[in-house]
A and B are shown apart, each in its own frame.
Chain A
Amino acid sequence: MQQVKEVAVIDGVRTPFIRSNGAFENLASHDLGRLATQGLLKKSGIARDLIEQVVMGTVISDPKAPNMAREVLLGNSLPPVASAFTVSMACISSNIAVGLAFDQMSLSRYKVAISGGAETLSDFPIRHSKKIRKALIKLQKAKGPVDYLNEVKKLSIKDLIPDVPSVTEFSTGLTMGASCERLAKRIGVTREEADQFSLSSHQRASQAWEAGEYEGEVCSISLAPEFKTIERDNGPRGDSSLESMAKLSTSFDRNFGQITAANSSFLSDGGAAVLLMEKEYAAEQGFLAKAIIKDYITAGTEPLDDLLLGPSLAITKLLEKNHLCIKDIGVWEIHEAFASQMVANLKVMDSKTLSKNIFNIDAIGEIPMDQLNIFGGSLALGHPFGATGARLVMTAASRLAKSGSRYSVVSGCAAGGHGLAMLLENPNM
């Protein structure tokens, strides 16, 4: 059997994450992926012809560019002989994109890859109704006006109502917010806890920006025709307060809910890309590794009641498999879909009874808040679905390189009932 290769995270760059229908509203997902990759190429200084593979994640596939990764590759003038593929796993799409690139590289399929993801939530495909679509397809074969009329006759005004992509879970019909409300009640998360968590995320993100923590990680963008420079995420609101957050009305459960605009991640546009290299090859080429990818695990959960608890299951399994405990991890990056979901996951992982009752696993304990998402998370930075996972990986890698810790865990939850957890190791330890 061939030797399994070690894979290093060399660098990562993302575009600013911008609230949807803002400055990036005219960009497609592949544009955002291309911009992030452009930033990565520039920052890392890697020669284009070294890139052998591009793996990208996205949630809402653009029908014009379904293999978005290929357009990113070609759009950045990467070698056409290199190949590219796009994956989708809801909000952990770019986590699994990085994971798959890691898998292939450890099997020596290639030595250098760019992985990441991008999403625009300003512009998603809204389709004609099924009847109109059927008619339009038949009309392509219409011979003469009689055929044409016959098809058109079958349609009614009602058929003009467009088919907007559903925001509900396909199997259960519940919105993610409604699922999270159920989860909060089940685990016993209070509105105060959720607001406090969200406030802290916003404050941390603002402070991180002030302290220059995101310098280098976020590339500045200027777009035609005005070419105004966009340098920063526009999500973080460091000046908000618990009092102002408490005033907001709830979005999903009017009477007994706790989820508001202020304690949920919001729709955003953005792209993110990380440079992965076989560890030995990186050393040969003179690249410094920020982190080594040790392992990752995916876990499925029951979509009605456990939809957003994927991280609890995945993280616990990952630690168990690698014989690690919570103390061994110094850097945590977990995707914040909703503050209530984060608090619920933290409670489940810390509670023997909950861990046992829900997943029949042992609780791992309390994740220290001063190690978790210390530069803010999706609640403050925003959540362009396909880009978030790669953002977590690059932030974790940077934090790990600067910290004295040996391990980092990156995790996230996803629609459909999924969790993914990835283990990174500090190459200097």
Chain B
Amino acid sequence: MTTPDHTILKIEVIDEIAIIRINNPGEKVNTLNETFLNEIESSMEFVNKAPEVKGAVFISTKENCFMAGADVKILQDADTIEKGEEIPRRGQRAFQSIEDCKKPVVAAIHGVCLGGGVEMALGCHYLIATDHPKTVLACPEILLGLFPAGGAPQRLPPRVGIQKALDLMLTGRNIRSKQAKKIGMIDQVVSHWGLQETSMSVCKKLISGELEHKNKTSSTAEKLLEGNPAGRAILFNQARAMIKKKTRGLYPAPFALINAVETGINKGKPAGYEREIKEFGVLTQSTQAKSLISLFFGNTNLKKNSRGKPEKKDSTLAVIGAGQMGAGIGLVSLLKGKEVILKDVNNEGLGRGKKVIWDELNRRCKKRAINSFERDRLMAKLGAQTDLKQFDRVDFVIEAVFEDIDLKHKVIAQLEEVCAEDCIIATNTSAIPIAEVASKAARPENIVGMHYFSPVNKMPLLEVIGHEKNSEQAIARAVQMGLDQGKTVIVVKDSPGFYTTRVLAALMDESILLLQEGIDFKKLDNLMKDFGFPVGPVTLFDEVGIDTAAHISDFLSQRIGSKLRNVKDPILNKLSEKGLYGRKSKKGFFLYEDRPTGLASKMFKPKGKEINPEALEIIQQYSLKNSSTCTDNEIIQMRLAYRFINEALRCMDEGVLLSPVDGDIGAVLGLGFPPMLGGPFHYIDSIGHAHFKKNMAMLEDKFGERFEVSPILNDHLERGKLFHPEVDEGA
């Protein structure tokens, strides 16, 4: 029989086995689309009908990519529930055709296998995956406000058990082949060398009956909980309770997933598949999914260098200042293959910096993400020195010294003396304008701003700040350095507080006012968490450091003036004078205790944070209780969120931000703006600009001119413009 004429799934029959090679023509990665799904079905039809074919193997011809999942653009095009339902229905049918194939079908997975890729593989009768470091499996749909609805909720639980299946699909986390084999998600781990031959030999053994897929036997604990209806009911209830606690009910997708799994288990697979379709259809139209998908596209775009690939490759990086920030920058650079030199004033400082890096590498080593040899090899690429010897061979320097303009001038002058002429000197600052930092530099064109977020290895954002005298190459190299370090990079215009610090300052300013009005610390935190922020503003002060916040607040209130309150904030300064810095000094707005270790940690559960009476006393000294006490929760949330959003609009208006995408990504990744709202610009697009303006007018009327709406909005309203034209207003 002749093989079908396909564009993506090319079939070759070797030794009675149909080798189905996955290759989206002209693309770097394989993605699932309509043609792909059609060709899965016709491939299976061929395998079933061709008498000379006894089995089949799915294998990719792409380097390090089995399949990257469904094409996300398809989701954007589905603008009704019905169209949304069509997506999983179509996928389920194709994957079912694999499962229904009368001859054994093997999935030979090498490289990334995500979302629809996992679901397609689960349709196969036997899964093998390579032990290559690039091979990872994941069901990341949940991160887009959706869930895997192409059959995974039905096919995964029998393989790995309900709890592990829920964990994989609820977190979307990556899983390596060895771990996947251990939990039963795949059947074998093999070498990537000779994968086709290995998969053929597996297929032959399946044909002869020498080999067959066996679901992993579950542990006794699993059997007790998952093996009977009562246990399962407890399990699903607990899962829902946990999700509710973690997400504060702001995200519908996790519940949809649990429903789909539960339906399948209690009422059988067909009912489960149908539930997947219904739940998925509704989710495609949710604001959460639309916001998260918009962020996904924004983030994907920002993973490319917007300034083009720089001419020079920067492989040696020096970091001045080995504090938490400097060490963090060193760490992410080391992990991505850079050679790093830490510089500090003395060996004690260097030692602390090295310890920060070693602790993280060692943690990865204990988790077996790297081996101890790899850890030592990375440490060997880390230099540490108290002088500037050999700095002439450094490509790129990032200074992360204290935020003091005179100190920064001094450091830059020293660096310019020893560094090569084309060496980039980046200054890590959260507020000081770069033009001022560069004002005394001999080569201001090479001085750029790089605003990292702490802890550097966890926070995905980098804000790059260019100033007027910069060369285009300098900015391109700074962006590339951030991308190399694995960051999402936004480029903003030079101005006090740039983008992120400025909008955060607005929110913090309003928080202090609310505290002065007498709102409880914990209540304020909880209200913002209910709105979708990961931490409340009071806790955030403690985490950032109250002294730092006071410093920035003073600086910005002088520079930005009336937009923030035009007075030096007395409260933050007072707290910081008393040594209440927050977590780092173990007391701020809240009190912090050392976490008990060893046996003690098991015996005593940590109590919730306690309010620091000292801080409360200071707040009460500056009480504004009599002016305008605010008790309406929604108004409180609105005051905080709207100050934040309005400041973002001002940044857009003043040209600090170059695009609303940068604004959305910056707010979500850098400041924890609720992802399910898609960022400030996406959010006001979706609630309507007129609606936002009306609320702002109401707030201005009640609480004063700091709620004066940014002029850009009036302009937009006049012209009926949206920040993200593809978003339907009012959706």
* A residues at B contact (CB < 8 Å): 170-173, 181-186, 188, 253, 255-256, 305
* B residues at A contact (CB < 8 Å): 188, 190-191, 193-194, 197-198, 201-202, 371, 373
Contact A182 B371 (CB under 8 A): no
Contact B198 A185 (CB under 8 A): yes
Q: How far is the CA of A255 from the CA of B194 in the complex (A)?
A: 14
Closest CB of chain A to B204's CB: distance in Å?
Answer: 11
Q: How far is the CA of A255 from the CA of B188 in the complex (A)?
A: 9
Residues of B within 8 A of A172 (CB): 371, 373
Please tell me which one of the listed residues B194, B201, B202, B371 contacts residue A173 in the complex, with CB atoms under 8 A apart.
B371
Contact A181 B197 (CB under 8 A): no
Contact B373 A171 (CB under 8 A): yes
Contact A182 B191 (CB under 8 A): yes
Q: How far is the CA of A173 from the CA of B188 in the complex (A)?
A: 20
Q: How far is the CA of A38 from the CA of B299 in the complex (A)?
A: 74
Please tell me which one of the listed residues A170, A171, A185 contacts residue B193 in the complex, with CB atoms under 8 A apart.
A185
Contact B188 A188 (CB under 8 A): no
Please tell me which one of the listed residues A170, A181, A188 contacts residue B191 in the complex, with CB atoms under 8 A apart.
A181
Contact B373 A186 (CB under 8 A): no
A170, A184, A253, A256 interface centre (most CB from chain B within 10 Å): A256
Q: How far is the CA of A268 from the CA of B121 in the complex (A)?
A: 47
Contact A256 B371 (CB under 8 A): no
Residues of A within 8 A of B188 (CB): 255
Majority secondary structure of chain B interface residues (helix, strand, loop or mixed): mixed
Nearest neighbor of B374 in chain A, beta-carbon distance: A171
Q: How far is the CA of A183 from the CA of B191 in the complex (A)?
A: 10
Contact A185 B191 (CB under 8 A): yes
Nearest neighbor of A305 in chain B, beta-carbon distance: B193
Closest CB of chain B to A161's CB: distance in Å?
Answer: 19
Contact A188 B371 (CB under 8 A): no
Nearest neighbor of A169 in chain B, beta-carbon distance: B373
A256 with B201, Cβ < 8 A, contacts A170-B373, A173-B371 known: yes
Contact B197 A188 (CB under 8 A): yes
Majority secondary structure of chain A interface residues (helix, strand, loop or mixed): loop
Nearest neighbor of B201 in chain A, beta-carbon distance: A256
Q: A181-B191, A183-B193, A185-B197 are in contact. List 20 more A-B contacts (CB 8 A).
A: A171-B373, A172-B371, A172-B373, A173-B371, A182-B191, A182-B193, A184-B194, A185-B191, A185-B194, A186-B191, A186-B194, A188-B194, A188-B197, A255-B188, A255-B190, A256-B190, A256-B191, A256-B198, A256-B201, A305-B193
Q: How far is the CA of A173 from the CA of B375 in the complex (A)?
A: 13
Closest CB of chain A to B465's CB: distance in Å?
Answer: 41
Residues of A within 8 A of B198 (CB): 185, 256
Nearest neighbor of A188 in chain B, beta-carbon distance: B194
Residues of A within 8 A of B202 (CB): 256
Q: How far is the CA of A173 from the CA of B190 in the complex (A)?
A: 16
Closest CB of chain B to A417's CB: distance in Å?
Answer: 13
Nearest neighbor of A185 in chain B, beta-carbon distance: B194
Closest CB of chain B to A357's CB: distance in Å?
Answer: 13
B194, B197, B371 interface centre (most CB from chain A within 10 Å): B194
Contact B371 A186 (CB under 8 A): no
Closest CB of chain B to A343's CB: distance in Å?
Answer: 14
Residues of B within 8 A of A186 (CB): 191, 193-194
Closest CB of chain B to A259's CB: distance in Å?
Answer: 13
Q: How far is the CA of A183 from the CA of B192 in the complex (A)?
A: 11
Nearest neighbor of B371 in chain A, beta-carbon distance: A173
Closest CB of chain B to A51's CB: distance in Å?
Answer: 41
Residues of B within 8 A of A182 (CB): 191, 193
Residues of A within 8 A of B193 (CB): 182-183, 185-186, 305
Q: Can you offer 14 A-B residue contacts whose CB atoms are under 8 A?
A: A171-B373, A181-B191, A182-B191, A183-B193, A184-B194, A185-B191, A185-B193, A185-B194, A186-B191, A186-B193, A253-B191, A255-B188, A256-B202, A305-B193
Residues of A within 8 A of B194 (CB): 184-186, 188
Closest CB of chain B to A359's CB: distance in Å?
Answer: 16
Nearest neighbor of A253 in chain B, beta-carbon distance: B191
Closest CB of chain B to A370's CB: distance in Å?
Answer: 30
Residues of B within 8 A of A184 (CB): 194
Closest CB of chain A to B718's CB: distance in Å?
Answer: 63
Residues of B within 8 A of A185 (CB): 191, 193-194, 197-198
Q: How far is the CA of A256 from the CA of B191 in the complex (A)?
A: 9
The 4 A-B pairs at the shortest CB distance, nearest first, are namely A185-B194, A186-B193, A185-B193, A171-B373
Residues of A within 8 A of B371 (CB): 172-173
Q: How far is the CA of A184 from the CA of B198 in the complex (A)?
A: 12
Closest CB of chain A to B213's CB: distance in Å?
Answer: 14
Residues of B within 8 A of A183 (CB): 193
Closest CB of chain A to B408's CB: distance in Å?
Answer: 42
Nearest neighbor of B372 in chain A, beta-carbon distance: A173
Residues of A within 8 A of B373 (CB): 170-173
Closest CB of chain B to A348's CB: distance in Å?
Answer: 13
B191, B197, B201, B202 interface centre (most CB from chain A within 10 Å): B191
Residues of B within 8 A of A255 (CB): 188, 190
Residues of B within 8 A of A305 (CB): 193
Q: How far is the CA of A170 from the CA of B197 in the complex (A)?
A: 29
Closest CB of chain B to A340's CB: distance in Å?
Answer: 12
Closest CB of chain A to B496's CB: distance in Å?
Answer: 50
Residues of B within 8 A of A256 (CB): 190-191, 198, 201-202
Closest CB of chain A to B708's CB: distance in Å?
Answer: 62
Residues of B within 8 A of A173 (CB): 371, 373
Closest CB of chain B to A17's CB: distance in Å?
Answer: 32
Residues of A within 8 A of B197 (CB): 185, 188
Nearest neighbor of B198 in chain A, beta-carbon distance: A256
Closest CB of chain A to B376's CB: distance in Å?
Answer: 10
Closest CB of chain A to B126's CB: distance in Å?
Answer: 12
Q: How far is the CA of A183 from the CA of B193 in the complex (A)?
A: 8
Q: How far is the CA of A305 from the CA of B202 in the complex (A)?
A: 23
Nearest neighbor of B211 in chain A, beta-carbon distance: A255
Closest CB of chain B to A344's CB: distance in Å?
Answer: 11
Q: How far is the CA of A305 from the CA of B133 in the complex (A)?
A: 13
Closest CB of chain A to B109's CB: distance in Å?
Answer: 15
Closest CB of chain A to B274's CB: distance in Å?
Answer: 38
Closest CB of chain B to A156's CB: distance in Å?
Answer: 16
Q: How far is the CA of A173 from the CA of B133 in the complex (A)?
A: 14
Q: How far is the CA of A269 from the CA of B198 in the complex (A)?
A: 36
